[in-house]
Amino acid sequence: MLHTIDTIRLSEKQKQQLIRLKSKTGIENWNVLCRWALCMSLAEDSVPPFEEIPSDSNVEMTWKVFAGEYSDVYLAVLREAYQKQSAQLEGVHFGDFVKLHLSRGISYSLPRSI
């Protein structure tokens, strides 16, 4: 089965975390911060903990905006990670898998003083 992503929608909690991160780093673009967060989580060998992540903020971006010119590379890395980790996340669909990694990465990205 070929897994794809159309849209990335953030939770209100993630939005607030990214607002703080934007103010600390000076990086203005949601997509850049989210890409970094995703990569930070994917760099871990462990599976992110399962949690229900609502899409309850007004921050939304297409996959092309989120991933930029390397969207095919990000998608391939995510597919490989999903294939390796999905057995440990029984019943978690690809889209939710991406949300879990993004959420964990955003929480990793916050400076400890925040």
Say what the pTM is: 0.90
* pLDDT tens by residue, 47-80: 999 999 999 999 999 999 999 999 999 999 999 9
pLDDT band at 15 (very low <50, low <70, confident <90, very high): very high
Query: What is the C-alpha to C-alpha distance for residues 105 and 48, in angstroms, rounded to an integer?
Result: 9
* pLDDT tens by residue, 90-107: 889 999 999 999 999 999
pLDDT above 80 for 14: yes
Q: Write the CA distances from 96 to 21, 29, 89, 104, integer angstroms.
A: 23, 23, 10, 12
DSSP state of 48: P
Query: What is the C-alpha to C-alpha distance for residues 66 and 75, in angstroms, rounded to an integer?
Result: 11
Helix (H, G, I), strand (E, B) or coil at 59: coil
For the chain, the structural domain boundaries read 7-109
DSSP state of 112: T
User: In CATH, what class is 7-109?
Assistant: mainly alpha
